[in-house]
Amino acid sequence: MCVCVRSKCTYVTREGCGWVPVTLAVTARACPWQVRYACQEYAGTAVDVMARRLRLGFLNSQAAEESLPRVVEIMGQELGWSGRESRKQLEDAITFLQVEMGKDMNRS
């Protein structure tokens, strides 16, 4: 179940006897199930998911960077990445956001 309210997407999971909300980032409109679905649709890199599948890298690079560790964690579970591969994906995605999306542009 995904509930999107005022630029906040909450993915609700059943844990124990109650429902527990989990968010990727406060301003992100990406839910964990969207990341899992992207992996099932042959997304192979964190850059692919953030930029092409979810488009979050294009819409809000700051929210994309905040969401990135959780996205990489989910992708690692889905794709069976080692810790080394997860770190590489995280570094590559951060570089992509900074260079290609101009996240740090005009900063001194």
In a domain, 63, yes or no: yes
In a domain, 105, yes or no: no
In a domain, 24, yes or no: no
In a domain, 3, yes or no: no
In a domain, 23, yes or no: no
pLDDT on residue 16: 47
pTM over 0.75: no
In a domain, 38, yes or no: yes
What tens digit of pLDDT does each residue of 41-85 get?
A: 999 999 999 888 888 888 888 888 888 999 999 999 999 999 999
Q: How many domains does the chain have?
A: 1
In a domain, 91, yes or no: yes
In a domain, 92, yes or no: yes
Q: How many CA atoms lie within 13 A of 106 on its CB side?
A: 2
- Domain extent at residue 40: 30-99
The β-bridge relationship of strands 2-5 and 18-22 is: unpaired
pLDDT on residue 85: 97
